[in-house]
Structure 1
Amino acid sequence: MRDHLPPGMPPDPFADDPSDPAAALDALEPAVPLDEQERRAVQDDLEDLEVYESLLAPRGIRGLVVVCEDCHEDHFHDWDMLRASLSQLLADGSVRPHEPAVDPRPEDYVTWEYCRGFTDAYLIYRNERR
């Protein structure tokens, strides 16, 4: 599936190369398709992401920051990259490696929790104005 990445993911420089150095990694850790509950959770995340981006991108927010469970550091994901990663997860149960944001400005990224809170507050405010 390396040559069929969803839109937003950078092209795989080894897509059709029989000597792809990452091919051995695919064999060691084959992708496991998501079960129905996991699929629904990822689909929900994609739907939420669309709302969050529509509300926050016009305000200068470039994407989300997520604390990595492995290295315990902040990882900054632009909207397109996160959408592509979630789409890839739905497609075959894997998330392909990608380049981190270059010199990200932390103030341009927010957490999932911030997005949820902002969206809730926005909807309450909008409904009160009606």
Structure 2
Amino acid sequence: MVSVRDHLPPGLPPDPFADDPGGDPSAALDAAPPGEPLDANERMAIEEDLADLAVYEALLHRRGIRGLVVICDDCQLDHYHDWDMLRANLLQLLVEGTVRPHEPAVDPSPEAYVTWDYCRGYADAMMHARDDD
């Protein structure tokens, strides 16, 4: 029998669930219920968020900002999301109608993340600064 491990480079640690696929906690991710189809307004809002995200990243990435901080509705803690993860989440939401669970940033530097409101204000200020020139 050919396994997935047969196609991986040598030297990797063994798969702890190779002999017990039912014990693999990642199986719960595959069992996540499908999302609800988005209506036209929801799709438009996500597409606008994607466009805004591109602007925010273009303006702030070069200044050392790695992404956004969002207060989680479930745990009330700050969650730090890099630009690429945000884009992937929004695209997944647009296509599947849901965002699957993902790993949080490991040991993030809070000063490298800003809020959506900060991004909006910064982008607005940059637009007005260009108008004044």
**Structure 1 length-normalised TM:** 0.79
1:76 match: secondary structure? strand
Question: How far apart in 1 are the matches of 2:71 and 2:122?
Answer: 20
1:22 match: secondary structure? helix
Query: More displaced, 31-40 or 59-68?
Result: 31-40
Asked whether the 8 Å contact 2:34–2:96 carries over to 1, the reply is no
Alignment partner, residue 22 of structure 1: 28
**Aligned residue among 109, 117, 120 for 1:113:** 117
Query: Structure 1 residues 118, 24: CA separation in 2 closer, same or farther (over 3 Å shift)?
Result: closer
Question: How far apart in 2 are the matches of 1:67 and 1:33?
Answer: 25
Q: Which has the larger radius of gyration?
A: 2
- Percent identity, please: 61
| Runs of 4+ residues over 6 Å off in structure 1 | none
Aligned-pair distance for 1:37? 0.6
**Ranges in structure 2 where 5+ consecutive residues have no aligned partner:** 1-20
1:95 match: secondary structure? coil
2:70 match: secondary structure? strand
Question: How far apart in 2 are the matches of 1:23 and 1:78?
Answer: 21
Deviations 1:78-117 (A, max 9, x none): 0000000000000010101111111001000000000000
1:75 match: secondary structure? strand
1:38 aligns with 2:42: yes
Aligned CA RMSD, in angstroms, stands at 1.6
Matches within 5 A, 1:1-130: 21-22=27-28, 25-26=31-32, 29-129=33-133
